[in-house]
Amino acid sequence: MAESTMQKIVSLAKRRGFIFQSSEIYGGLKACYDYGPLGVELKRNIKDAWWDDTVHRRDDVVGLDCSIIMHPDVWKASGHLAGFSDPLVDCRNCKERFRADKAPRAAAGSAITYREGGKKDGKKLPGVVGPQGYVCPVCGSGDLSGERQFNLMFRTSLGPVDPMQEILDAVDDMAKLDPAARKAKLAEIVGRSAVYLRPETAQGMFVNFLNVLNSSRMKPPFGVAQCGKSYRNEITTSNLTFRTCEFEQMELEFFVEPGTDEKWYEYWSNARYNWYISLGMKKDRLRMRPHEKSELAHYAKACVDVEYFYPFENPQGEGEWGELEGIANRTDYDLKKHSEFSGKDLSYFETETKRRFTPYVIEPAAGADRATLAFLCDAYDEEVVDKEKNDIRVVLRFHPRIAPIKVAVFPLVKKDGMPEKAEAIMKALLGEGINSFYDESGAIGRRYRRMDEVGTPWCVTVDTETLSNGTVTIRERDSMEQSRIPSEGIADYFRNRLKKSRE
C-alpha cells in the first residue's frame, strides 16, 4: 500500500518538528498533541495574522483575553451545563450507539420486528419495545442499554480542598441517609466547588460586554476578539489535530443593531472566506457550506461553515470536507440569557436616537489548530524536478506571512570566509526580527531542498562574488529561480517582500 498524502504529512510534521504526539515517551495521550519548534511558529503566525487582520487593521474591533475558568453560572446561562450532555444509548442487538432523543418512538411493551444483528439482509425477528419507549434507529430492536450522560465540559474544582477528600470524610454519615438524600449530599459536595474549563471563548465576550462598552467607548456595530484555549470532552477524536479535547479558538463577537444583522452576517461570511484565500489557501479546496435549518444550534438564526478539503483517508479515497470556521448569527440570545441569569441589563442605549436595544451578534469562530492543519496540508506539494533521475522535491508552499522560517542563509562552501559572512547576514536578519536560519552542512542543493521541506520562502547564498562585490544569491522556494542583490540592506529587502506578500 502506498503511503497516503495524510501519512506523508504526518511523518513530515513529526520529522521536521511541526507536530508531536503529547507525552510520547510515556506512550502518548489520546488526541493530545504538541507543536514543535516549527509548528509553534506556523501556528503563531496564523494567530498573529488573524489578530492583525481582525483587530489591528480595523477601528471597530477590540481584543480581550478571558480566564479559562469562569463562574459556573456562565455555563448555566449559556446552556452548556444543562444541554451540553446528550443521553446516549447502546443497542444490544446491533451494537449501534445513538441519541435517545433522536430515536424512533414506540409505545413501551408494544410488539415490533427488528433485523437480526442489524444487517441489511438480517432475518426479521419479533420483539417488544422496552420501557424507554423508543427503539434502535438502525435495526429497530427494543433491547437497549440504559441512557448515559456524557458531559462535554471538563469539570474541576476551585479551592484548596479536594472534593474527593470531602466525600471520603462524609462517607460514614452518608451511609445513614436514605438513597435520595445521599445522592443530594454527594451532588452538593461536588457542586459546591465545581468549576468548568470553558468549552468556547465566546461567553467571555458576552459576560464582558458592559466592561468593554464602558472602558473602550465602542458603539455598535463593533466587535470583540479573543484567541485562546477551549476544552471539550469529545467522544471521538481523530485526524491528528483536527478534533482534539484541548484546542485553540480565534473568535470574534460582532455586536450590531437588530435589523442590520443579516447584512453583517453576509459581510463577515465573505470577509472570513477571503481571509483564508489571502493567506494562499487554494480556492478549490475551500468552500462555504450554509447550515440547513435542522442543523442550526438553538441560538442561531443562520450559520455557515468555512470548510477545507482535508486529505483525510476514508473508504471513498482521499479527501474530506472538514470545518475550519463557523460564522453564526447568534441573534440576541446570549446577551439576553446573561441579562436574565445575572440580573444585569446588557442592552445598549444609543444617545443620538434615544433608543435602547439588545445587540445581535455575528460570530465568526475559527479553530486555530484546524487552520494550522489546513494550511499545512494545503502547502504540501511534491514536485517532479527531473523525471529521468526520479528527482522529486517535497515543498511546503506556505504563504510568506505564515512560513515558520522566512530566510535561510548559506555559505556556498565551507571555506574562504564564506561561513563568517553568511553568519553575519543571518544575525543581521535576526536582529531585524526576521526569523532566519543558518546552515553550512553538506552540498548546497541539499540545503535548498531541506528548506523547501519546511517551507522557507527564500534562501540567501554567500559565494565568491559576495567576497568581491558584496552581492548575494537569492533563491526562490517556489520557482527555484535565482537572482543577485546587494547584501547591504538585505533586511529591508526581505521586509519589503514580506509586506508585498500581503497585498
Residues 76-135 that bind RNA (CB under 7 A): 78-80, 83-84, 86, 88, 90, 95-99, 102
C-beta of 84: minimal distance to RNA in Å?
A: 5
C-beta of 11: minimal distance to RNA in Å?
A: 4
Alpha-carbon span 84 to 66, nearest angstrom: 21
C-beta of 403: minimal distance to RNA in Å?
A: 17
Taking the alpha carbons of 135, 97, 313, 306 in that order, is the dihedral positive or negative? positive
Contacts of 249 (CB under 8 A, 6+ apart): 200, 201, 226, 227, 228, 229, 230, 365, 366, 367, 368
> Are 45 and 227 within 8 A, CB to CB?
no
Residues 174-213 that bind RNA (CB under 7 A): 199-200
Residues 390-449 that bind RNA (CB under 7 A): 390-393, 412-416, 441-446, 448-449
C-alpha cell at 318: 482521499
C-beta of 493: minimal distance to RNA in Å?
A: 16
**Region binding RNA by CB under 7 A among candidate stretches 54-62, 252-260, 312-320, 334-342:** 312-320
Of 187 and 467, the one with the shorter C-beta distance to RNA is 467
C-beta of 113: minimal distance to RNA in Å?
A: 21
DSSP assignment of 136-181, as one string? -TTT----BPPPB----SPEEE-SSS-HHHHHHHHHHHHHTS-HHH
Q: Which of 50, 157, 145, 169 is nearest to 93 (CA)?
A: 145
Write the DSSP symbol of residue 362.
E
Based on the shown chain and the rule CB under 7 A, indicate whether residue 31 belongs to the binding site for RNA: yes
Residues 460-499 that bind RNA (CB under 7 A): 461, 463-464, 473, 475, 480-482
**Total of residues contacting RNA (CB under 7 A):** 76
Of 189 and 408, the one with the shorter C-beta distance to RNA is 408
Based on the shown chain and the rule CB under 7 A, indicate whether residue 232 belongs to the binding site for RNA: yes
C-beta of 491: minimal distance to RNA in Å?
A: 19
Residues 4-23 vs RNA: string with x where CB under 7 A?
A: --xx--xx--xx-----x--
Residues 238-297 that bind RNA (CB under 7 A): 238-240, 243, 297
C-beta of 177: minimal distance to RNA in Å?
A: 30
Alpha-carbon span 292 to 247, nearest angstrom: 26
User: Which residues are 482's β-sheet partners?
Assistant: 475
Alpha-carbon span 222 to 359, nearest angstrom: 10
C-beta of 30: minimal distance to RNA in Å?
A: 3
Residues 137-176 vs RNA: string with x where CB under 7 A?
A: -------------x-x------------------------
Of 237 and 347, the one with the shorter C-beta distance to RNA is 237
Alpha-carbon span 426 to 28, nearest angstrom: 37
Alpha-carbon span 50 to 201, nearest angstrom: 16
Residues 330-349 that bind RNA (CB under 7 A): none
C-beta of 160: minimal distance to RNA in Å?
A: 29
The enclosing H or E element of 78 equals helix 72-78
C-alpha cell at 430: 535576526
Of 362 and 444, the one with the shorter C-beta distance to RNA is 444
Of 91 and 129, the one with the shorter C-beta distance to RNA is 91
Based on the shown chain and the rule CB under 7 A, indicate whether residue 73 belongs to the binding site for RNA: no
> Are 462 and 409 within 8 A, CB to CB?
yes
Based on the shown chain and the rule CB under 7 A, indicate whether residue 30 belongs to the binding site for RNA: yes
For 80-100, what is the HEC assignment?
A: HHHHCCCCEEEECCCCCEEEH
Based on the shown chain and the rule CB under 7 A, indicate whether residue 500 belongs to the binding site for RNA: no
User: Which residues are 438's β-sheet partners?
Assistant: 409
